[in-house]
Amino acid sequence: MTLYDDTLELLQELIRNACVNDLTADSGFEVRNADSLERFFVGSGVEVQRFEPHPHRTSIIFTVPGDPDKEPLTFLGHTDVVPVDADKWTKDPFAAVIEDGKLYGRGAVDMLFITATMAAVTREVARRGNPGGTLTFAALADEEARGGLGARWFERENPGAINWKNCLSETGGSHLPGGVAVIVGEKGAAQRRIHVHGDAGHGSTPYNKDFAIVKIGEVARRIAEANLPIANDPIWQGFRESFKFDPESEKLIDSGDFSPFGNLSAFAHAFSHTTISQTVLRAGGAINVLPSHAYLEMDIRPLPGQTQNEVDEMLRDAIGDIDVEIEHLINEDATVSPTTGPLWDTLVETVGEFFPGKDVVPTLATGGSDLRVARRLGGVGYGFALHAPERDLATANAELHSHDECLHLEDLELTVQAYARVTEKFLGMELAVNSKFAQTPGEAE
């Protein structure tokens, strides 16, 4: 069995365990994947710790000790997956079937193929022993619900259980016109509930009443029409420059038209702006009663450097003279890691081996991952995998949480090889990697 074969077999098992997180505490059942991983490591000599902050919501950590004076490396994988609309799938979402060189299943891309790769590489390091620095593989629960029973639980309750100094996780490794994307940071979260109040009364006598519903509708309209400025930070500028747009396209982007990015237009817009999505509206209960209260909930994703207070100021500027109360639901600032340092340099070298002549393009994730916890706790964190050149960023993103989510087995092979190379370089050891597709660094194009 090759390292690839081990990874594929484990990946199929993880998918079949169906650890579906519906955002409630009693869902997930990541204990199934924790059990599978613990069986996978039997006899390898790793140190194992299990944590269960809520019944069945198990995270498991595997450690291969190395020289404490050398740089450690940590793999952060998550073991939960999002729900499915089963009737929209043409394959069984939890059968992990392979057809035409693709593996179908919920979580195949997000992110069980990386989690399985991390496990296989860690086991190989354990079998060979004596890594330069300590290698940790943390298979965490509850990432899909922002980690309250996973990474954020460790942050609050037991941060010392994981070495956060040099971390790798999802996603990264897809292609752009000017290079290969590696995730260096992610936007924050500023979830808000805006309340308005009006007159109560009987629905038959509306004359001269102050309608809460009319008021919240106007709030929603004003926020939707707010003019949010485009970012001007080096990460966005570098991403934009990687497309090598002509002057006319550059003018369109400056005017707020992101069509030059093609099927990445929504991603590029989100990358470069604080975004506000109005997602929940509540008012009233009975059709013949004027509700005196209404509220609007918003999923706001701030850019790096933007504070929670600045988000509130932005909202109040947009809302203007309407009297509102702004309630905070979830507050997490954006996080970014530097494009310098030993782990970053190792990633750049590794990408260059597989795709000679291609630049690494630092990219900001518009959603969330467990890496933000690593960055908050003083470490660096990068989203890393590798995809074949025909899988551009838009194609890779389209698989996330999709119907018929599928992974090209070629991308699994590339990711296994890439993680092995990163580990060899960073920990100063040699691993046995036999290629399933007879593809070696420098031949991936």
Q: DSSP characters for 350-376?
A: HHHHHSTTPEEEEEEESS--THHHHHH
User: What pLDDT band is residue 442 in, cutting at 50, 70 and 90?
Assistant: low
CATH architecture, range 3-186+335-427? 3-Layer(aba) Sandwich (3.40)
Q: What is the pLDDT of residue 1?
A: 84
List the domain boundaries for the chain: 3-186+335-427, 189-332
Lowest mean pLDDT, pick from 151-160, 293-302, 389-398: 389-398
Tens of pLDDT along 205-264?
999 999 999 999 999 999 999 988 889 899 999 999 999 999 999 999 999 999 999 999
- Tokens coding 69: 């004076």
Mean pLDDT of 136-145: 98
Predicted TM-score (pTM) above 0.85 = yes
Q: What is the pLDDT of residue 431?
A: 86
- Tokens coding 176: 């752009």
- Whether the pLDDT of residue 65 is over 70: the answer is yes
- State what percent of residues in the chain have pLDDT above 70: 97
CA 316, 318, 323, 326 dihedral sign is negative
Number of Cβ within 10 Å of residue 356's Cβ equals 12
- Tokens coding 138: 């943390």
CA geometry: angle at 120 spanning 116 and 124, to 5°?
170
Mean pLDDT of 405-434: 93
**Mean pLDDT computed over every residue of the chain:** 95
Domain 189-332 adopts which CATH fold? Answer: Alpha-Beta Plaits (3.30.70)
